[in-house]
Structure 1
């Protein structure tokens, strides 16, 4: 009796498709978005640090009394344009002796010896609230402080602040434009990858239609799997980002000061949501297309 080898062909299961390539594409796309997101987070932190250090120097009259100095400090602390960190107004006092000492250390020249006196003045340095860092608002702040009794002069680097504002606006617009473009490219990439992956299932979808399966019944396993694969892609992309962050922190000194763990966690959570959403919507569109195709169009 002849023994014939019977080859059992694995049946295709509804909703199954070459998911490895899909997960890889989603992971890669979300990883690129994540890298760009990290760049934006670091840029925002750097912008905030720059703005928090925009300051004005309030020089006092030479004959001012200690009580008047205290009164000026209290008045400045009550102003809305003075930055506040942890309920503390960002005001520091620099005496003329401290200023002279710092100048001598920086230049190596003791100007008090040939002048016979210290020409510098006591001063308050105040950090300006970000809401008041436009050119017009800073001019108003300067005028308001100079009207205070005991204040000799108020100075700040006007050209530098104007340059900072202009450059930060340009950088923000460029980053926003790239972010929108990148999201569109990634969505198209994932959409095309899923459509190609589902191409092998088009005849199975038609067969299910012919035996009376409803559209919802056919779509359900595909949508469930694609959402799950998108979440996996988001998790893998987040893990890759953690490795990148660890490497960057080892290579670049003090960059951790620009990193806020809460924002990084939000970014990674957004990658998971984006992966699931894009995978779900791309699959939904592809399935709807195959459901509406005629038999001739399937070949």
Structure 2
């Protein structure tokens, strides 16, 4: 079977059931467009969540200990799991920070040098809230450490909201794509029905189901390619021109992984895959059921 024949028959199938083909392409277009928009907004929401997470530091306040004990604690903390970076804040440095944060009103108290020395820990981005909390509790049991403090509530909130956003977006995306694939399925089914006499004739002369099925697969791929290309073009237009021109606050939304082609390529590929899956599903079912004796 030549490639030219496959393409010709695949394109011809679109014209045999024009309304159904348009409905299928439009549904795929809407599906991948929504997925693309959700992906870009969701990626930026994840970036904001990670940025806020990075600003949450674990503060380890020390007792009044000598330099040797301080260095031993430093080595112990640096070797702890999920500790990515450690910085030491001496009593003098803590007083300077206090004066910077509270201004002239804090100078009198800061001069008393009552603030303890501390370590500030930057935890691994891969660490969960439970893991960070476990590390904090284990550090609190070390000799020479007075208190371990971090914003547990904020980390829990960020983790919960990020998980909810991911699960909700994934569920919505799967539902939208399933509906689009059903419409592709129905389009190919109508095309097969319109060609049922030809299919019976082809079977009578020995054509296999696979041979008959290939043009319908091409039709589904073409539908996906059209829908994905239009959706990709609209996403670029929407995020690079319409939104920056009208909502400047959202004009700073970045492309996933820093490059436009990751999302655009993913949108087109997803549409093609969904078109292929829907057509394959219909072709396998209805061509096999088209008997030469009916």
TM superposition score normalised by structure 1: 0.72
Counterpart in 1 of 2:3? none
Higher percent of residues as helix: 2
Counterpart in 1 of 2:161? 167
Counterpart in 1 of 2:286? 289
Deviation, structure 1 residue 124: 1.6
Q: Structure 1 CA distance, aligned partners of 2:128 and 2:58?
A: 11
Counterpart in 1 of 2:46? 44
Instruction: Name the CA shift for 1:91/1:249 in 2 (closer, same or farther; >3 Å).
Output: farther
Q: Structure 2 CA distance, aligned partners of 1:293 and 1:191?
A: 16
8 Å CA contact retained: 2:25, 2:223: yes
Deviation, structure 1 residue 129: 2.9
Instruction: Name the CA shift for 1:64/1:207 in 2 (closer, same or farther; >3 Å).
Output: same
Show the 5 A alignment for 1:82-231. 82-83=83-84, 90-113=85-108, 116-130=111-125, 132-135=127-130, 137-196=131-190, 200-202=194-196, 204-206=198-200, 208-209=202-203, 213-231=207-225
Deviation, structure 1 residue 96: 3.8
Instruction: Name the CA shift for 1:111/1:26 in 2 (closer, same or farther; >3 Å).
Output: closer
Can you give the 5+ residue segments of structure 2 that lack an aligned partner in the other structure? 1-7, 16-20
The answer to whether 1:81 aligns with 2:91 is no
8 Å CA contact retained: 2:81, 2:135: no
Counterpart in 2 of 1:86? none
8 Å CA contact retained: 2:91, 2:116: yes
Instruction: Name the CA shift for 1:210/1:259 in 2 (closer, same or farther; >3 Å).
Output: closer
Q: Structure 2 CA distance, aligned partners of 1:293 and 1:96?
A: 85
Instruction: Name the CA shift for 1:140/1:36 in 2 (closer, same or farther; >3 Å).
Output: closer
8 Å CA contact retained: 1:59, 1:153: yes
State the superposition RMSD in angstroms.
3.6
Deviation, structure 1 residue 82: 0.6
Three-state SS of the structure 1 residue aligned to 2:87 is: strand
Counterpart in 2 of 1:5? none
Counterpart in 1 of 2:239? 245
Counterpart in 2 of 1:3? none
Counterpart in 2 of 1:9? none
8 Å CA contact retained: 1:45, 1:259: no
8 Å CA contact retained: 2:256, 2:263: no
TM superposition score normalised by structure 2: 0.73
Deviation, structure 1 residue 57: 0.4
Q: Structure 1 CA distance, aligned partners of 2:184 and 2:291?
A: 25
8 Å CA contact retained: 2:95, 2:110: no
Deviation, structure 1 residue 59: 1.5
Which residue, out of 251, 257, 260, partners 2:257?
260
8 Å CA contact retained: 1:34, 1:271: yes
Which residue, out of 27, 44, 62, partners 2:29?
27
Deviation, structure 1 residue 254: 4.8
Can you give the 5+ residue segments of structure 1 that lack an aligned partner in the other structure? 1-12, 84-89
8 Å CA contact retained: 1:61, 1:150: yes
Instruction: Name the CA shift for 1:242/1:221 in 2 (closer, same or farther; >3 Å).
Output: same
Deviation, structure 1 residue 32: 1.9
Q: Structure 1 CA distance, aligned partners of 2:133 and 2:278?
A: 53
